[in-house]
Structure 1
Amino acid sequence: MSKTMDADPNSAHRRAWDLIPWVVNGSASEDERRLVERHAEDCADCREEFDFQCQLRDGMAPRTAPAALDADHALGRFWGRVDAEQTGSLWDKLATQPPASPTAPAEHQRRGRWQTAMIAAVLVQALGLAALLGVLWERPRGAEYQVLSQPPAGMADIRLVPAPGLSLGELHALLDRHELQLLQANADATHFALGLRPGAGLGVAEAVQRLRAEPGVLLAEPLTPPKP
């Protein structure tokens, strides 16, 4: 039976295609790697997919020593962007303006109040996004009760590369829809390691398939090879 399946071109193509992520991330066996390489010599689709995933892997490789992104580091990067792009420019304008005199026109006073309100709005927005980021990081620690049949908490099951336009709110909703929790991210928050929440009603393979159907997901792949 297995010989018949191996002789079937469609079966061989399906097997090689499914093994590409494991070859790219280095977890495939030597035999599996050779199988993909031999098949890709004659299959343009698999060759193109293999090259694409290699480009993604190379693009996600950290330029410095790898380190898990914690909430404090992410918040620091966020405040840096706020200071450089928004808040800093408004404060600079206020700092260079002369103090208003009692005889200053009402229009000048209104402009000063408007700029102060803009600064406050930027700060409120920043605090809201920072709070959401903190919630995303704290959620995996919430489950304190665990039965013996459950896997250890905190183990990453899925690698996710979101589309560039995916917002934090959309990411939060996506994790809720598919019963996932955020465990790790790279320094630029361009790809994430996800885990199934305790008591999730789906497995890793099903979660990966659902993520691949999401318009805001560029790449979703399991971090552990499928069981034979």
Structure 2
Amino acid sequence: MNGRVIKFEGPVHAEADRLLPWLINGTLDDDERRQVEQHVAECAQCQREVAWLRTLQSQYRDDDADADHVPHAMKRLRHRMGKVGIKRATPASLSSAWRRRGRRLAWLAAAQAAIIFAMGVVLLQDRHAAYHTLSAPASKGSLLVVVFDPRISEAQMRRLVRAGDGRIVGGPTETGAYLLSVPDEQAASSRKMLHDSPSVTMVENLQAGGSP
């Protein structure tokens, strides 16, 4: 190479751009990896995307994040998601912006999934904290991490939790997440009910079978 970084456009660039998340997480096959790496070495735009994705990955891949780090990590993630949602594209960047939008949102969703696990770790730790007011003993069941709409009333929250035959066993965290215990046989239906509710902004099954 002569050290000059050029910017590719067209099918090769579009395909490399689409595969960048899989390059970062190491799941491309050898041929794909070589082709994408070769393109990235010559494409300034893809180099910037790779740097952004690696920064994002490094912030959220630690499954053992502690209680002090998780709320700040979630704030950073939401800030990133907000930037993707509100960034105004110029006419010259519209085509590439639309091409990258789906990939970025998919990567952010994966990053948020990592945060969900970390939030669950924090919530499980909170169950045993001295200041915690919800000190019911652990029981068998599935654990759901739930974030309610900030505008929901306490009565509405209780009705939703009861409708899913669940009980709150942890939370809230700084980010407003609660840990719900539901019977294993109702985990899927409870998650769907909460997911479909406009008063719930996020719900994920942390694990099945109770506390680790």
Task: Please confirm whether the aligned pair reaches a TM-score higher than 0.5, indicating the same fold.
Answer: no
Using structure 2 for the length normalisation, give the TM-score.
0.39
Q: Which structure has the bigger radius of gyration?
A: 1
Q: Normalising by structure 1, what TM-score? A: 0.37
